[in-house]
Amino acid sequence: MDLLFTFMQVNEIAWDMTGDKFFLTTGNGTVEVLAYPSLKALDTLTAHTAGCYCIAIDPLGRYFAVGSADSLVSLWDIEEMLCVRTFVKLEWPVRTLSFNHTGEYIASASEDLFIDIANIETGRSIHQIPCRAAMNSVEWNPKSNLLAYAGDDKNKYQTDEGVFRIFGFQSA
């Protein structure tokens, strides 16, 4: 089955944990929520004041998070489709985000020179990983608090080179 749908600008897509809902982030600052398999529009969420670039689903199926060009990360209740919190640590457009395996933490990155790790219940930043350049991707290990991240870094000659690193910590 090959279906074609047209939207203004789709930046990232995600399924919910049940496979019943499909999410699309758009350049209009919205998240389009579709039912699956009918692909009937369930909701259009005005999520941000600028384009929504990335989306991640909490591994427990409670929340989804959206990163935007407005430098904010919004956390949404997946059942109520309501924003419950925003994270405001970054100053550049949010490029990537990921929940850890317990759904307790979220990592987000941009062109800021750090990756922010925040507690989703309190909204507080618990750690920042220093970077020398923009990060393009963050992804938590599905079984432990290991965060892999990749992006463009600077070498000793101050020229760009791709970098991949893994950061780990013990939760309190």
CATH number of 10-168: 2.130.10.10
Banded model confidence at residue 41, pLDDT cuts 50, 70, 90: very high
User: Smallest Cα–Cα separation from 77: which of 36, 45, 40?
Assistant: 45
CA 18 – CA 36 distance, rounded (Å) = 10
> What residues does each domain of the chain span?
10-168
pLDDT band of residue 169 (cuts 50, 70, 90) is: low
d(CA 124, CA 143): 23
Which whole number is the average pLDDT over 49-72? 97
Mean per-residue pLDDT, 17-23? 95
Give the mean pLDDT of the chain. 91
Q: How confident is the model at residue 28 (pLDDT cuts 50, 70, 90)?
A: very high
pLDDT score, position 126: 96
pLDDT of residue 67: 98
The answer to which of 44-53, 78-87, 157-166 has the lowest mean pLDDT is 157-166
Secondary structure percentages of the chain, helix, strand, coil, to 5 = 0, 55, 45
6, pLDDT greater than 80:
no
